[in-house]
Amino acid sequence: MGSYTVLLLIPAAGSVLVLLSVSPARAHTWVFVLQMSWQTLCHLGLSSQELDPQDARPAITLSAIMLLTQKATSLALDIHERVVPLQLGQGLLQRALPLCSYLLFFPALLGGPLCSFSRFRAQAESSGALPRPLRSAGQRCLCALALQGLRAGLVGGLAGRQGCAGLGCLPHVWVRALLLRLAYYLHWVLDEALLEVAGFGPEAGQGDLSIRDLWTLETTHRLAVFARTWNKSTSRWLRRLVFQRCPAQPLLATFAFSAWWHGLRPGQVFGFLCWAVMVEADYRIHPFLSARATSQGVKLLYRGTTWVFTQLIVAYILVAVETESFSMLCLLWTSCNSILPLSYGFALLLLLLAKKLKQN
């Protein structure tokens, strides 16, 4: 990473100094402000410069800073909640080294699910005595190879076909989102394989992606279930950091913070806020519909239709989040792809109005 390493070392050193010098009751607030301020400055600074598109170091740096923010705020919360006590009797270096090791453990900064400080320390202390789970890592690599083959085959199959293209075409947007999902799945599997080889694999059910999660993501007819299953370790971190601590509108606050954490590009702000509205609508629409699906045929129609709707809305959100220019975002917003999200938003307003009238 060359000189970009400095952008990572500064917040890591600052977080360690804060954790060692500030009282546990205020450590979380100070670490949160430090990390998010620095991360926002890095996002704005690097995005405003004309960088070499062939140079991957800026993107790797921003990704590592985002994952460092996850680990630093998670550790600060553990200290704030007395889950991780700081040994005050030890010397400064003895107290700082475990924190630095946790924050700068590089396989976890390249990707992978969030690991708590307690689990990291336990695994580090026993890493020499435990065999490396190479079989599990090999299975993940084979899964990654299959995902890459599926993605390459899909790209090759679409290259020779003539059809509609652009953000105004509904099938094109859905296929583009499918390719994005496969790319995410591929990276998550490789990240976890790297951690397995390093001896720091996630606990069962604590990783970002398993075969069961993959099946759930692609077959669920509930947008809320998709949101909880997508990037599970980040979802758990957001729930703990924002959702459980926000006194008002926790769902909207969680998705708004996620947009901030991802970089606050127009597409990210629009996509995550749209996601929040769609999940809120999902919570209210499905109980209303499922109560009226009494026969087996109606239930099948209900699940099939809502699965298609979920797929199309997820595609719309993913393409919006990955859209970098404001003009392309406007093109997506004014296309026919916006009909279904607008319909969900309108249904949410009607159900809220009906609930308010019923209460009155």
Do residues 166 and 25 both lie within one domain? Answer: no
Do residues 152 and 47 both lie within one domain? Answer: no
223-273, pLDDT tens digit by residue? Answer: 999 999 999 999 999 999 999 999 889 999 999 999 999 998 999 999 999
pLDDT at 111: 84
Do residues 266 and 337 both lie within one domain? Answer: yes
* Confidence (pTM): 0.90
Based on the structure, what is the number of domains in the chain? 2
**Where does residue 107 rank: exposed (0-12), middle (13-18), buried (19+ CB within 10 A)?**
middle
Do residues 96 and 221 both lie within one domain? Answer: no
pLDDT at 248: 87
Residue 129: pLDDT above 60?
no
Do residues 247 and 333 both lie within one domain? Answer: yes
Do residues 204 and 319 both lie within one domain? Answer: yes
| Domain final residue pick, 83, 104, 125 | 104
Do residues 155 and 88 both lie within one domain? Answer: no
Active site residues: 231, 262
Do residues 93 and 223 both lie within one domain? Answer: no
Residue 159: pLDDT above 70?
no
Per the domain annotation, does 89 fall within a domain? yes
Residue 10: pLDDT above 60?
yes
Residue of 223, 224, 188, 225 lying closest to 207 (CA atoms):
188
203-213, pLDDT tens digit by residue? Answer: 766 667 778 88
| Domain final residue pick, 54, 87, 104 | 104
Per the domain annotation, does 341 fall within a domain? yes
Per the domain annotation, does 57 fall within a domain? yes
Do residues 99 and 236 both lie within one domain? Answer: no
Query: Where do runs of H (alpha helix) occur along 2-133?
Result: 5-21, 24-48, 57-80, 92-103, 106-110, 117-126
Residue 91: pLDDT above 90?
no
User: Could you tell me the residue range of the domain that residue 353 belongs to?
Assistant: 135-359
Do residues 155 and 93 both lie within one domain? Answer: no
Do residues 190 and 268 both lie within one domain? Answer: yes
Do residues 336 and 278 both lie within one domain? Answer: yes
